[in-house]
């Protein structure tokens, strides 16, 4: 399946968490690009303290879905990528902070890279972090020195989720010190921020219309 490649900012804006997949095989070239995007993620001290476990066998995917607190839709994705960290690697260089924080942040950067690489190739993906640690470890034989942090589902999407509501920039951006807001952030940052604000307003209007229709049905 050939898809238009979106720009980076467009990919960030239009990416969605996909939980329904078409019953189609994935080209391994595309899977390889997704994994390579994870490999190229930034990490503290360039330690790259991550490992990616690729799972395609249906029985194994089912085991992982069960480990993900019985989220059986996970098994419907033709490919799963389990992102693991090696916390002790960061601990050797950065102490407790490296073990508890940096290794997790590093893995998170790799996950986001992979989600965007998937979307950029017309694939759907979802970041799953709700799982039973012991069950997931057993399913893919994770050693004691590694820690599973995320399951990424991957496949061709069979749904087009509506954009979720997001806070506007003026709700989350401070200047020079925490809590110091600028009233019109959209004007300050120019057209891109205006586009974001308009998109949020449109989504809110859509949500209000849906709620009104639901009330009428009742």
- Of 92, 111, 120, nearest to 30 by C-alpha is 120
Tell me: do 16 and 81 sit in the same domain: yes
pLDDT number for residue 170: 85
**pTM, rounded to two decimals:** 0.84
In tens, the pLDDT along 166-184 reads 998 888 989 999 999 877 7
In tens, the pLDDT along 102-111 reads 999 999 999 9
pLDDT number for residue 150: 99
Tell me: do 213 and 128 sit in the same domain: no
Tell me: do 15 and 118 sit in the same domain: yes
Taking 90 as the threshold, does the pLDDT of residue 202 lie above it? no
Q: Is residue 154 within 8 Å of 181, Cβ to Cβ? A: no
* 3 state DSSP class of 44: helix
CA distances from 54 to 4, 115, 123 (A): 26, 15, 16
The mean pLDDT of 17-26, rounded to a whole number, is: 98
State which residues form the domain around 50: 8-155
> Is there a domain that residue 164 lies in?
no
CB half-sphere exposure, 43, CA atoms < 13 A = 27
pLDDT number for residue 169: 87
Q: Is residue 110 within 8 Å of 57, Cβ to Cβ? A: no
pLDDT mean across residues, the chain:
90
> Is there a domain that residue 2 lies in?
no
Domain count, the chain: 2
CA distances from 213 to 146, 147, 207, 209, 217 (A): 49, 46, 10, 6, 6
Tell me: do 92 and 189 sit in the same domain: no
Angle, CA of 181, 184 and 189, to the nearest 5°:
100
CA-only gyration radius of the chain, Å: 20
Tell me: do 128 and 185 sit in the same domain: no
pLDDT number for residue 194: 55
In tens, the pLDDT along 121-137 reads 999 999 999 999 999 99
The mean pLDDT of 147-173, rounded to a whole number, is: 95
């Amino acid at each position: 399946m050939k898809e238009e490649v979106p720009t980076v900012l467009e990919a960030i804006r239009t990416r969605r968490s996909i939980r329904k997949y078409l019953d189609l095989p994935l080209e391994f070239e595309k899977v390889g690009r997704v994994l390579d995007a994870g490999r190229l993620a930034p990490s503290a001290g360039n330690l790259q303290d991550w490992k990616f476990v690729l799972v395609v066998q249906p029985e194994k995917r089912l085991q992982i879905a069960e480990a993900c607190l019985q989220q059986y839709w996970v098994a419907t994705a033709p490919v799963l990528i389990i992102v693991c960290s090696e916390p002790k690697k960061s601990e050797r260089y950065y102490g407790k902070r490296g073990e508890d924080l940096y290794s997790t942040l590093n893995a998170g950067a790799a996950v986001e890279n992979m989600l965007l690489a998937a979307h950029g190739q017309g694939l759907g993906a979802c970041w799953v972090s709700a799982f039973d640690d012991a069950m997931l470890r057993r399913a893919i034989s994770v050693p004691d020195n590694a820690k599973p942090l995320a399951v990424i589902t991957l496949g061709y999407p069979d749904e087009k989720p509506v954009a979720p509501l997001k806070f506007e920039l003026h709700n989350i951006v401070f200047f020079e010190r925490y809590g110091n807001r600028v009233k019109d952030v959209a004007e300050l940052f120019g057209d891109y921020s205006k586009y974001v604000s308009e998109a949020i307003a449109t989504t809110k209007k859509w949500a209000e219309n849906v709620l009104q229709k639901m009330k009428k049905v009742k």
